[in-house]
Amino acid sequence: MAFRVSTAIAILLSCLWAPSDSAASLFLATDDTPGNPWIMGGGSHFQENSPGLEIELYRLMAKGLNLELRVVRLPWKRCLADLKHGRVDGIFPASFKPERLSLGRFPTQNGKIDPSRKSRDSAYFLYTNIASPLGWDGQSFVNMHLMERQTVGVPLGGSIATDLRR
């Protein structure tokens, strides 16, 4: 069962887009889970011959800006922490949440988030065992009280966690 949540902005940068003359590289981090076709492979590695559409997009962007691109895969919560502490220049894909403005910048136009500068829309999926009573009615969980363990797992630091708690 799936419910769609739009990814407001796919890249969250802690630096300005326009590189200075001294800028020679761009260091980005992304999560370590597969995200076909945007990010291929899993764990700390990208699929060798075809790393994914989003990786290719950022490679083209870096080449056009004459920057050396370095991309690493990390657990999402570490991506967030590394951005906050300046260990990476940006992270992706990052959906917009107001509380994430303390970590870095999202592309804006006239002081508002600019959705025309996103690289993709994403969807969240809810997977359950076929025998599970748990469901989603488009607004909230149904039959959670019938579950032995009344928990739902999400990636640490994932933006969907706050929405699901609500």
Residues 111 and 39 both lie in one domain: yes
Mean pLDDT along residues 74-98: 93
Residues 70 and 135 both lie in one domain: no
Residues 47 and 127 both lie in one domain: no
Which range among 9-13, 67-71, 114-118 has the greatest average pLDDT?
A: 67-71
Domain boundary among 79, 101, 117: 117
Q: Is residue 2 part of a domain?
A: no
Q: Which residue has the higher pLDDT, 75 or 18?
A: 75
Q: Residue 161: what pLDDT?
A: 80
Residues 47 and 62 both lie in one domain: yes
Give SS3 for 51.
Answer: coil
Range of the domain at 80: 8-117
HEC sequence for 85-120: CCCCCEEECCCCCHHHHHCCECCEECCEECHHHCCC
What is the percent of the chain where pLDDT is above 70? 86
Q: What CATH number should be reported for the domain holding residue 31?
A: 3.40.190.10
Residues 79 and 130 both lie in one domain: no
Q: What domain count does the chain have?
A: 2
Residues 129 and 108 both lie in one domain: no
Domain boundary among 99, 117, 135: 117
What is the percent of the chain where pLDDT is above 90? 34
Q: Is residue 73 part of a domain?
A: yes
Name 125's bridge partners: 2
Residues 111 and 127 both lie in one domain: no
Q: Which residue has the higher pLDDT, 23 or 107?
A: 107
Tokens 């797992």 identify what position?
A: 153
Tell me if 1 sits within 8 A of 128, measured CB to CB.
yes
First to last CA, the chain: 19
Q: How far is CA 47 from the centre of its chain?
A: 18
Q: Is residue 86 part of a domain?
A: yes
Residues 113 and 142 both lie in one domain: no
Q: Which residue has the higher pLDDT, 152 or 69?
A: 69
Q: Is residue 3 part of a domain?
A: no
